[in-house]
């Protein structure tokens, strides 16, 4: 079934979405890989990157830079690099998912994105400068932790902002598996490393809610293994939270579905009939 024609919202209309309550954005954020191929206006993207910069960094170093990749030539160069690795890792994933319908369904959005990688509207590549205190590999471990800990808070800010305005986005690392190759494509100096890549475009599907394990299963107090909230009463959960016991049987398969995979009562006007 063909998608309905899509018209991106005007920048002002999209940015109005930043008024979404933070708790709503956090509860419904998910990796969205199926994207409309329409361009993303700078008047939308740049304010979101400004919000990303509000995140803290180690020692207030603020040594990030963000590469916004829009040209078809540059996107195709990154896509060729990704396809070289995808040819090896995808058959392994397919073998592991053989006979598992849910796992196969979960792979479809990633396969769609791999097939269309060079066509996606825009990539944001967060990068960080290496120095004595912050380095992507090596010892002491604290310098590595400080390096990535200075980047990913900004990435999460960007992902939440994308969710609020209706842009689909997903944090990925495999497409830039070759740091040397990525640095060459993007013209990065040796002291600056690409950390991840975030394909961004107007979301084709719909966001959340997401399903996570009950907090009692992952919350330890004072020492590992001391989990006093394992028996937390469902009535004590934050309003709007759902555990695996609460969800409908098909909730686990909702991520990134195409319009024709969604049930009629789940579809939004943007998703079509």
Question: Is 134 a member of any domain?
Answer: yes
Higher pLDDT, 260 or 164: 164
Average pLDDT over residues 182-188: 95
Count of CB atoms within 10 A of residue 229's CB? 15
Give 10-31 as a DSSP string: PHHHHHGGGGS-HHHHHHH---
Buried b (16+ CB within 10 A) or exposed e, 253-273: ebbbbbbeebeeeebeebbbe
Q: What is the DSSP letter of 65?
A: E
Give 199-258 as a DSSP string: EEEEBSS---------HHHH---SSTT--TTTT--GGGSPTT---TTTS-TTGGG-TT--
Predicted confidence (pLDDT) per residue in 127-165, tens digit = 999 888 888 888 889 999 999 999 999 999 999 999 999
Least confident of 80-94, 152-166, 196-210, 226-240: 226-240
pLDDT at residue 45, as a whole number: 98
Count of domains in the chain? 1
pLDDT at residue 103, as a whole number: 77
Query: Does pLDDT of 24 surpass 50?
Result: yes
pTM for the whole structure = 0.81
Question: Is 194 a member of any domain?
Answer: yes
**Main-chain phi, psi angles of 66, to 5 degrees:** -125, 120
Least confident of 7-21, 164-178, 205-219, 249-263: 249-263
Residue 31: band (very low, low, confident or very high) from pLDDT cuts 50, 70, 90: very high
CATH of the domain at 156: 3.40.109.10
Least confident of 53-62, 98-107, 216-225: 98-107
pLDDT at residue 86, as a whole number: 79
pLDDT at residue 206, as a whole number: 77
Question: Is 18 a member of any domain?
Answer: yes
Question: Is 47 a member of any domain?
Answer: yes
Question: Is 273 a member of any domain?
Answer: no
Question: Is 205 a member of any domain?
Answer: yes
Question: Is 250 a member of any domain?
Answer: no
Question: Is 67 a member of any domain?
Answer: yes
Average pLDDT over residues 198-217: 89
Query: Does pLDDT of 181 surpass 60?
Result: yes
Domain of 165? 11-211
Residue 172: band (very low, low, confident or very high) from pLDDT cuts 50, 70, 90: very high
Higher pLDDT, 136 or 171: 171
Residue 265: band (very low, low, confident or very high) from pLDDT cuts 50, 70, 90: very low
Query: Does pLDDT of 85 surpass 50?
Result: yes
């Amino acid at each position: 079934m063909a998608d309905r024609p899509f018209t991106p919202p005007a920048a002002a209309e999209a940015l109005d979405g930043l008024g979404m309550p933070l708790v709503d954005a956090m509860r419904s954020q998910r990796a969205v890989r199926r994207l409309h191929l329409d361009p993303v206006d700078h008047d939308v993207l740049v304010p979101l990157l400004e919000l990303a910069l509000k995140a803290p960094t180690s020692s207030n170093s603020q040594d990030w830079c963000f590469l916004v990749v829009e040209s078809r030539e540059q996107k195709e160069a990154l896509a060729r690099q990704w396809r070289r690795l995808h040819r090896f890792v995808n058959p392994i994933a397919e073998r592991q998912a053989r006979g598992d319908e849910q796992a196969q369904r979960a792979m479809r959005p990633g396969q769609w994105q791999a097939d269309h990688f060079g066509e996606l509207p825009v990539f944001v590549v967060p990068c960080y400068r290496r120095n004595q205190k912050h380095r992507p590999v090596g010892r002491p471990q604290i310098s590595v932790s400080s390096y990535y800990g200075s980047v990913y808070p900004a990435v999460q800010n960007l992902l939440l902002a994308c969710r609020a305005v209706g842009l689909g986005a997903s944090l990925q690392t495999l497409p830039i598996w070759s740091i040397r190759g990525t640095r060459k494509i993007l013209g990065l100096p040796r002291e600056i490393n690409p950390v991840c890549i975030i394909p961004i475009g107007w979301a084709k599907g719909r966001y959340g809610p997401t399903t996570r394990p009950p907090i009692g299963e992952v919350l330890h107090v004072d020492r590992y293994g001391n989990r006093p909230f394992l028996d937390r009463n469902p009535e004590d959960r934050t309003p709007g939270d759902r555990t695996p016991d609460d969800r409908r049987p098909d909730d686990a398969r909702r991520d990134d579905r195409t319009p024709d995979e969604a049930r009629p009562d789940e579809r939004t006007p943007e998703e079509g009939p």
